[in-house]
Amino acid sequence: MNNSVPDQSNGLSAVHIAAGADRFGEHHGLGISVIDFKVVPPDSSGTFIIENTFHARGGPARHLHYDQDEWFYALEGEFAFEIGSNQFRLKPGESLLGPRQVPHVWAHVGEGRGRILIAFLPAGDMEAFFREVTKANAMPPQDPALWRAHGMELLGPPLVLD
Protein backbone atom coordinates (compact mmCIF):
# COMPACT_ATOMS: atom_id res chain seq x y z
CA MET A 1 0.00 0.00 0.00
CA ASN A 2 1.26 3.48 -0.89
CA ASN A 3 0.19 6.21 1.49
CA SER A 4 0.90 9.94 1.28
CA VAL A 5 0.46 11.75 4.58
CA PRO A 6 0.61 15.56 4.54
CA ASP A 7 2.75 17.23 7.19
CA GLN A 8 0.67 19.98 8.78
CA SER A 9 3.72 22.16 9.48
CA ASN A 10 4.97 22.66 5.93
CA GLY A 11 2.42 21.12 3.54
CA LEU A 12 4.84 18.44 2.29
CA SER A 13 3.82 14.79 2.19
CA ALA A 14 5.54 11.73 3.56
CA VAL A 15 5.25 8.85 1.11
CA HIS A 16 5.12 5.27 2.35
CA ILE A 17 5.81 2.48 -0.15
CA ALA A 18 5.33 -1.11 0.98
CA ALA A 19 7.99 -3.78 0.45
CA GLY A 20 7.86 -5.11 -3.09
CA ALA A 21 5.69 -2.21 -4.28
CA ASP A 22 6.15 0.52 -6.86
CA ARG A 23 5.54 4.18 -5.96
CA PHE A 24 2.64 4.30 -8.43
CA GLY A 25 1.51 0.65 -8.16
CA GLU A 26 2.81 0.01 -11.70
CA HIS A 27 4.72 -2.90 -13.24
CA HIS A 28 8.10 -2.17 -14.91
CA GLY A 29 9.49 -5.41 -16.37
CA LEU A 30 12.90 -5.82 -17.97
CA GLY A 31 12.67 -9.52 -18.84
CA ILE A 32 15.26 -10.78 -16.34
CA SER A 33 14.22 -8.28 -13.68
CA VAL A 34 11.53 -5.92 -12.40
CA ILE A 35 12.01 -2.28 -11.43
CA ASP A 36 9.99 -0.57 -8.73
CA PHE A 37 10.09 3.23 -8.66
CA LYS A 38 10.74 4.20 -5.03
CA VAL A 39 11.64 7.92 -5.10
CA VAL A 40 10.43 10.00 -8.02
CA PRO A 41 11.33 13.70 -7.91
CA PRO A 42 8.98 16.45 -9.08
CA ASP A 43 11.55 17.49 -11.70
CA SER A 44 14.77 16.27 -13.32
CA SER A 45 17.02 17.99 -10.78
CA GLY A 46 15.98 15.73 -7.88
CA THR A 47 17.06 12.19 -7.01
CA PHE A 48 15.42 9.19 -8.71
CA ILE A 49 15.67 5.85 -6.85
CA ILE A 50 14.62 2.42 -8.10
CA GLU A 51 14.72 -1.08 -6.65
CA ASN A 52 15.74 -3.63 -9.28
CA THR A 53 14.81 -7.25 -8.46
CA PHE A 54 16.42 -9.96 -10.60
CA HIS A 55 15.09 -13.47 -11.14
CA ALA A 56 17.89 -14.35 -13.59
CA ARG A 57 21.53 -13.41 -14.07
CA GLY A 58 22.44 -10.44 -16.26
CA GLY A 59 22.34 -6.68 -16.50
CA PRO A 60 22.35 -3.65 -18.79
CA ALA A 61 24.71 -2.86 -21.65
CA ARG A 62 27.91 -0.89 -21.09
CA HIS A 63 27.04 2.81 -21.04
CA LEU A 64 27.75 6.16 -19.44
CA HIS A 65 25.54 8.94 -18.17
CA TYR A 66 26.33 12.44 -19.38
CA ASP A 67 24.95 14.21 -16.30
CA GLN A 68 24.05 11.62 -13.62
CA ASP A 69 26.08 9.95 -10.93
CA GLU A 70 24.70 6.45 -10.31
CA TRP A 71 24.80 4.93 -6.83
CA PHE A 72 24.25 1.21 -6.25
CA TYR A 73 23.38 -0.53 -2.96
CA ALA A 74 23.15 -4.34 -2.94
CA LEU A 75 20.24 -5.70 -0.90
CA GLU A 76 20.32 -9.38 -1.85
CA GLY A 77 22.51 -11.54 -4.09
CA GLU A 78 25.82 -10.70 -5.73
CA PHE A 79 26.58 -8.15 -8.45
CA ALA A 80 29.65 -7.66 -10.65
CA PHE A 81 30.63 -4.17 -11.84
CA GLU A 82 33.13 -2.58 -14.17
CA ILE A 83 33.39 1.17 -13.68
CA GLY A 84 36.04 2.65 -15.91
CA SER A 85 38.91 0.15 -15.72
CA ASN A 86 38.03 -0.96 -12.17
CA GLN A 87 36.21 -4.20 -11.30
CA PHE A 88 34.08 -4.70 -8.19
CA ARG A 89 31.83 -7.32 -6.60
CA LEU A 90 28.97 -6.11 -4.44
CA LYS A 91 27.32 -8.26 -1.79
CA PRO A 92 24.40 -7.28 0.47
CA GLY A 93 25.09 -4.14 2.46
CA GLU A 94 27.80 -2.87 0.10
CA SER A 95 27.50 0.15 -2.16
CA LEU A 96 29.32 1.69 -5.09
CA LEU A 97 29.23 5.08 -6.79
CA GLY A 98 29.58 5.28 -10.56
CA PRO A 99 30.47 8.87 -11.48
CA ARG A 100 28.91 10.62 -14.47
CA GLN A 101 30.88 10.49 -17.73
CA VAL A 102 32.58 7.21 -16.69
CA PRO A 103 31.73 4.05 -18.69
CA HIS A 104 30.19 1.28 -16.62
CA VAL A 105 28.48 -2.07 -16.91
CA TRP A 106 27.11 -4.38 -14.24
CA ALA A 107 25.16 -7.58 -13.76
CA HIS A 108 23.49 -9.79 -11.18
CA VAL A 109 25.86 -12.77 -11.01
CA GLY A 110 24.60 -14.64 -7.95
CA GLU A 111 22.39 -17.69 -7.80
CA GLY A 112 18.73 -17.11 -7.05
CA ARG A 113 17.20 -13.70 -6.60
CA GLY A 114 19.16 -10.45 -6.59
CA ARG A 115 17.98 -7.04 -5.41
CA ILE A 116 19.73 -3.71 -5.73
CA LEU A 117 18.79 -0.10 -5.04
CA ILE A 118 19.94 2.37 -7.69
CA ALA A 119 19.91 6.14 -7.27
CA PHE A 120 20.40 8.61 -10.12
CA LEU A 121 21.69 12.02 -9.03
CA PRO A 122 20.23 14.14 -10.54
CA ALA A 123 17.31 12.21 -12.02
CA GLY A 124 17.63 13.63 -15.53
CA ASP A 125 15.54 11.59 -17.98
CA MET A 126 15.94 8.23 -16.21
CA GLU A 127 12.26 7.85 -15.27
CA ALA A 128 11.28 8.44 -18.91
CA PHE A 129 13.96 5.98 -20.08
CA PHE A 130 12.68 3.21 -17.81
CA ARG A 131 9.05 3.90 -18.72
CA GLU A 132 9.99 3.57 -22.40
CA VAL A 133 12.18 0.45 -22.25
CA THR A 134 9.93 -1.53 -19.89
CA LYS A 135 7.05 -1.41 -22.40
CA ALA A 136 8.62 -4.47 -24.09
CA ASN A 137 9.39 -6.33 -20.79
CA ALA A 138 12.97 -6.91 -22.02
CA MET A 139 16.40 -5.47 -21.28
CA PRO A 140 16.86 -2.05 -22.96
CA PRO A 141 17.58 -2.42 -26.67
CA GLN A 142 21.05 -1.62 -27.91
CA ASP A 143 19.77 1.36 -29.85
CA PRO A 144 22.27 4.25 -29.49
CA ALA A 145 19.66 6.89 -30.40
CA LEU A 146 17.31 5.73 -27.61
CA TRP A 147 20.06 5.90 -24.99
CA ARG A 148 21.32 9.28 -26.24
CA ALA A 149 17.78 10.71 -26.15
CA HIS A 150 17.75 9.96 -22.40
CA GLY A 151 21.17 11.42 -21.53
CA MET A 152 23.35 8.32 -21.94
CA GLU A 153 25.85 6.90 -24.39
CA LEU A 154 25.59 3.21 -25.30
CA LEU A 155 29.16 1.86 -25.41
CA GLY A 156 28.94 -1.90 -25.76
CA PRO A 157 27.24 -5.16 -24.81
CA PRO A 158 26.30 -6.39 -21.33
CA LEU A 159 28.89 -8.20 -19.19
CA VAL A 160 29.77 -11.68 -20.35
CA LEU A 161 28.92 -14.01 -17.45
CA ASP A 162 30.83 -17.25 -16.79
Per-residue pLDDT at 133 exceeds 80:
yes
In a domain, 121, yes or no: yes
In a domain, 43, yes or no: yes
In a domain, 162, yes or no: no
Q: Give the confidence band of 8 by pLDDT, cuts at 50, 70, 90.
A: low
In a domain, 141, yes or no: yes
Per-residue pLDDT at 138 exceeds 60:
yes
In a domain, 82, yes or no: yes
- Residue 104: domain span: 31-154
The domain tally of the chain equals: 1
The 8 Å CB, 24+ separation contacts for 134-140 are: 134/27, 134/28, 134/29, 134/30, 134/35, 137/29, 137/30, 137/31, 138/30, 138/31, 139/30, 139/31, 139/32, 139/58, 139/60, 139/61, 140/30, 140/60, 140/61
pLDDT of residue 162: 76
Residues 80-103: pLDDT tens digits? 999 999 999 999 999 999 999 999
Per-residue pLDDT at 2 exceeds 60:
no
- CATH number, domain at 124? 2.60.120.10
Per-residue pLDDT at 9 exceeds 70:
no
Residue 59: CB partners within 8 Å, gap ≥ 6? 79, 105, 106, 107, 108, 158, 159
Spell out where 13-130 has E strands.
13-17, 28-29, 33-39, 48-54, 62-65, 69-76, 79-83, 86-90, 95-98, 104-108, 114-121
In a domain, 83, yes or no: yes
In a domain, 42, yes or no: yes
pTM score of the predicted model: 0.91
Per-residue pLDDT at 143 exceeds 60:
yes
Per-residue pLDDT at 56 exceeds 80:
yes
In a domain, 76, yes or no: yes
pLDDT of residue 15: 87
Per-residue pLDDT at 12 exceeds 70:
no
Q: What is the mean pLDDT of the chain?
A: 93
- The secondary element (H helix, E strand) that includes residue 133 is helix 126-133
Nearest to 61 by CA among 89, 30, 37: 30
